[in-house]
Structure 1
């Protein structure tokens, strides 16, 4: 198992396909939420793609965005996904720790933000994130903005 960290231009087409398939499998199919998965943020030169590779498959993924892309006040971690067959092994925590480290290295002094699905607020709090404001609905799913200072 390896945790990898790449810019969009560093991804080969097979890896990119696997990353997008994982995200669609989790967010669109599993959560039955049709939404615009391809949002042009993946291709930004500042975006980092963090993923856990198990042999030839992607087990977990997170995307790091520069300040100002999704949140004005800080960098953002989003599209956090763990494949159905990879759950229960602590991969979400592992991928989030790598994503947090990446955001802190690339954008020092800026808080790290997440738009968490409400049912995962406790998980993000266990990583040090604090809730901001009220929860809201995005694409039919309750979300909560959270910040790690």
Structure 2
């Protein structure tokens, strides 16, 4: 099981920032072939959750998400950049990652709605956490997405 750690943007080390940007690029840009502006100006105001494991080459980032507080991007709280390293996808880390993100919002922003823009193929996964689709499927950077609220 990964070691989980929350940090604000100013608390990130350069190595942590490098690893999170590299993982996001590897999965969202290269693996999913979606060319988009990952560095979008929201990281600085977000809380970042890391799941790391020790491997033969040192500490590896295996899971990551960011929590955007209400008012940063949307009136609601938001989870974003939810990502699991390809080598770690078969261990259920995505479920733990999302549980921790939701719990963080419930603790730090109680009573707020959580809004996400989910890749459509993951809608059932998010529905299992109480998210509901609002609106139609739309294209975001070449990938079908849906807006979901909890």
TM > 0.5 between the two?
A: yes
CA distance in 1, matches of 2:7, 2:112: 21
2:118 counterpart of 1:116: yes
Q: Aligned pair count?
A: 145
Larger strand proportion of the pair: 2
Long gaps (5+) in structure 1:
none
Equivalent positions of 1:59-98 (< 5 A) are: 59-72=62-75, 74-98=76-100
SS in 1 for 2:81: strand
Q: After TM superposition, where is structure 1 displaced by more than 6 Å over at least 4 residues in a row? A: none
Task: Give 2:40's aligned residue.
Answer: 39
Task: Give 2:134's aligned residue.
Answer: 132
CA distance in 2, matches of 1:71, 1:131: 16
- TM-score where L is the length of structure 2: 0.94
SS in 2 for 1:135: strand
**Structure 1 vs Structure 2 CA RMSD:** 0.9
CA distance in 2, matches of 1:120, 1:87: 14
CA distance in 1, matches of 2:82, 2:25: 12
Equivalent positions of 1:23-34 (< 5 A) are: 23-34=24-35
CA distance in 2, matches of 1:85, 1:52: 13
SS in 1 for 2:43: coil
Task: Give 1:54's aligned residue.
Answer: 53
- TM-score where L is the length of structure 1: 0.94
